[in-house]
Structure 1
Amino acid sequence: MKIPARTAVGFLLAAGLTLTACSTSSSGPDANAPSDGSVGGTLTVVYDSTFKTALEPVVEAFEQKYPGTTVDVNYIGGDVENLMLTQIQAGTAPDVFLTFPGSGETMTIESLASQGYLLDLSDSPWVADIPQALQEDMEYQGRTYAYPGTLQGLGGVYNKTRLQELGLEIPRTWTDVLELCESAKDAGAYAYAQALNDPSGPQMLYFALTGTLLYGPNPDFATQLQEGQTTIPDSPWRVAFEKYAEMNDAGCFGEGVLGRSAAQSYNEVAAGAALALVSVGANLAPIQEAAPDSEFTVAALPATDNPDDTYFTALPGYTLSVNAEAKNPTAAEAFLDLLAEPEHINQYAEGFASVPAIPNDSFTPPATLEEFNEAVAEGRTAQLASWPNPSVNDVAQQGVQALLLGDDTVDGVLEEMQEAYES
């Protein structure tokens, strides 16, 4: 029986930002691998220009380790998924390229591996170290086809400077969350700048809540749902939507939440008008840029009154795969092996405001990621919802808006999600 795998929504969250800039290098000559099977020649790579600074040190280290080898990186912007898919289908894809974890969309590992587009990496030295919770997302039919890269947390991005000014603290229980909302209002601010007018905005809060309420304590929920042992309306998804509505009724989201864009939410937190934003860690960057003199951090969002219950929702970002028709497969595999070395993956993780997906003892997280890194090390992380089709999450996001407008009920939203699941 096939268990529904995570859709590419995980990556869309990981990116966190709309990819618009395009900074592309020349395509370079065809890769030529040495005839003796050694690492050399030209290695071609396609990568997202948004995260160019994360990859550049790895490229430099690889060329230093293998003198005479050239890494030709094509940094692309815009719709990375469709641009890459076009190259793959046209047979012009490079040796190494970005993929998305899991399945359900065109550029996911399972989708590409099932069509024979990816090289089997199961014998790579880092495969045995992939955390169990991530293994399924890197595999197709029990074989590994991608290096997992980094993990980032989905929780509260807090303006610590503003909290300290108001004498407030990051909440550690659900009661604390509601009290923070009340205290923020008393101070002329509001607690959480959710961007419900952004395409990915409504999902952020329920993914954070269900990490603690469902997917952390019960990682087998997707299997149970598929086998008919439960339904979405009978699951803790109900509690998550009830808490979403409770936060809205408590004024946690401030005025105009249904019309708020992502950019507006960043600016509100940066300015201290809002104290936090429940989102992915990547969104810390634009907030910090807008308020360089303020201190921020990322913390798990509690959903119960027992701090020991709290899980930090964690999600992989881009994964890296090797073209099954790579012109220089030896160099391609060596490139991923080098990236997996602690020195290089640690530096790479910094470029994503993330932590290495495969933990190592030499990684020292920045202060903003200390709590998340600790949760990863302790196994207190939860993954995203696992749906057989993306329409379930689409219905959930639309349901948030309808619920807060008073146009639907929790029961109604859950039943609509179940119908989408079964369709």
Structure 2
Amino acid sequence: MKKAISFLTVMILAVGLLAGCNSSNSSASGKGGAAKSVELKVFIDQPRFKQQYQTYLDQFVAKEKKEKNIIVSVKLELPNINQASQLLKTRMASGDSPDVFSLHAINDIPVYSRAGYLEDLSDQPFVKKLYNTVKPAVTYKGKVYAVPLETVQWGYLYNKKIFNDLGLKLPQTISEMEQTVKTLKQHNVTPFLLAYKDAYIPQLFLPLTVGADQIKDKPNFITNMNEGKGSFSEIKDMFNIMDLSNSNGTPNPFEIGQDQGASDFANGKAAMWIQGPWMADSILQANKNFEFGVAPLPVNNNPATTQLDLTTSTSLAVSKSSKNKAVAKDLINYILDDKDSSAFYKSLGFNPISKIHNFEQFPWLKESSTYVAEGKAYQDPSIPSSVKDESQKIFQSYFAGDASKKDVIADLDRAWKEFNNNNK
């Protein structure tokens, strides 16, 4: 699941009067008694969805007041993706954890659980509503620790009009991608949209290449790395697609972040963007009539490895140290409210993740779902967050010409070894 609007956006959402109330008391006194007041700190690293979250939290506040006579003041933090991870870790380590916060289900739940930061949510009503295919991603050692927001099938985005006008088929191998690039350039179309200002974007090559190589050639790569026996030198396909896109893309990539990238892509400045459908809202804000698709990224000449990455990413957890756990859990359960959740998920452009969801999927989500139905998707590789963080920096340096392939491999190997040493 990333809109870099500022270092930190803070909104205070308040309903009702807060005079003379104890903010640490999270239990209702009943409709006949005095209302209780609670401040709930919510931390979500998706500022591009500011309006959607604000609207849904407003609904939650009204529901708590009506049904439980609790006046909730929500302090919503929407940090940009580049600072969010470190900011959250710092807050947690200092004892200033938000009550409810976003994390990456696959990458973060094991680490945060071992650190004692996560409240066990296994007994909460939302758990029974989750699809069986989604629940494992938010489960660690038999306990559910978060409610999932985003389940994503992703690879790269492509401009349907350009592909249709030129009669291009989606490439299934790296050789076919090279031919696609050649054809596009012959028709004066820039093949790839490059946007490296936001460091998480270059990092996207990491799960895509590791995931593809695991399908056939390196099925034990993650296990070997966790045991200190592997090396990124084994992921030989990583640099092929990185070099191909970087040498056939739009100019000044380090001046372009995800917001400008979404606008440029929506306005036809390139035929492909190695990004995920989480950018749909920003793209359509720039051009509401734009038609794009989601396709698997080829990284070698084996078409069997050209599959989508299937992941459960942004999820919401409750802090173990929260003083307002009852209200925090009310919010977590409201995320999958039987009445309101479908409209919420549709407004975010996310996939259905629960049996209560009954909304019509967007075209690009339907397209990506067909790959999953056909068995052409792999589970997002469990790469430690610290390794992904390192890849952000070293990939930027590589694309800038300041780091070699050997430097990239050495840095990633070192980051994984440090992760192993810190998690023994």
Question: TM above 0.5, one fold?
Answer: yes
Distance in 2 (alpha carbons) for counterparts of 1:58 and 1:347: 13
Aligned CA distance change for structure 1 residues 131 and 222 (closer, same or farther; 3 Å): farther
Matches within 5 A, 1:68-87: 68-70=68-70, 71-78=72-79
Aligned length: 397
- Residue type matched to 2:28 in 1? P
Q: Which residue of 2 aligns with 1:33?
A: 27
Q: Which residue of 2 aligns with 1:15?
A: 2
Residue 171 of structure 2 is aligned to residue 168 of structure 1: no
- Residue type matched to 1:313 in 2? D
Q: Which residue of 2 aligns with 1:54?
A: 52
Q: Which residue of 1 aligns with 2:231?
A: 231
Residue 204 of structure 2 is aligned to residue 204 of structure 1: yes
Residue 148 of structure 2 is aligned to residue 152 of structure 1: no
* 1:183-238 CA-partner distances (Å, limit 9, x unpaired): 2211212111122343223222343333323269866532122235543212xx21
Distance in 2 (alpha carbons) for counterparts of 1:138 and 1:401: 35
Distance in 2 (alpha carbons) for counterparts of 1:400 and 1:81: 18
Q: Which residue of 2 aligns with 1:421?
A: 416
- Residue type matched to 1:76 in 2? E
Q: Which residue of 2 aligns with 1:9?
A: none
Q: Which residue of 1 aligns with 2:289?
A: 293
Aligned CA distance change for structure 1 residues 226 and 114 (closer, same or farther; 3 Å): closer
Q: Which residue of 2 aligns with 1:4?
A: none
CA contact (8 A) 1:17 1:283 kept: no
Q: Which residue of 1 aligns with 2:421?
A: none
Distance in 1 (alpha carbons) for counterparts of 2:385 and 2:312: 19
Please, what is the CA RMSD of the aligned residues?
Answer: 4.0
Unmatched 5+ stretches in structure 2: 419-424
Give TM-score scaled by structure 1 length.
0.75
CA contact (8 A) 1:103 1:111 kept: no
Distance in 1 (alpha carbons) for counterparts of 2:28 and 2:255: 57
Q: Which residue of 2 aligns with 1:8?
A: none
CA contact (8 A) 2:117 2:320 kept: yes
Instruction: Report % sequence identity.
Output: 20
Q: Which residue of 1 aligns with 2:184?
A: 184
> What is the SS of the residue equivalent to 2:416?
helix
CA contact (8 A) 1:192 1:252 kept: yes
Matches within 5 A, 1:15-414: 15=2, 17-19=4-6, 21-26=9-14, 30=23, 31-34=25-28, 44-48=40-44, 50-55=48-53, 56-57=55-56, 60=59, 63-64=62-63, 67-70=67-70, 71-78=72-79, 96-101=99-104, 108-127=108-127, 129=130, 135=136, 138-139=139-140, 141-214=141-214, 221-228=221-228, 230-234=230-234, 237-248=235-246, 251-257=247-253, 260-304=256-300, 308-341=304-337, 344-358=340-354, 362-376=358-372, 380-388=376-384, 390-391=386-387, 394-395=390-391, 397-399=393-395, 401-402=397-398, 405=401, 408-409=404-405, 411=406, 413-414=408-409
Q: Give how far 1:88 is off.
A: 5.4
Distance in 2 (alpha carbons) for counterparts of 1:392 and 1:47: 21
Give TM-score scaled by structure 2 length.
0.75
Distance in 1 (alpha carbons) for counterparts of 2:90 and 2:407: 39
CA contact (8 A) 2:308 2:377 kept: yes
Q: Report which structure shows greater RCO (CA 8 Å, sep ≥6).
A: 1
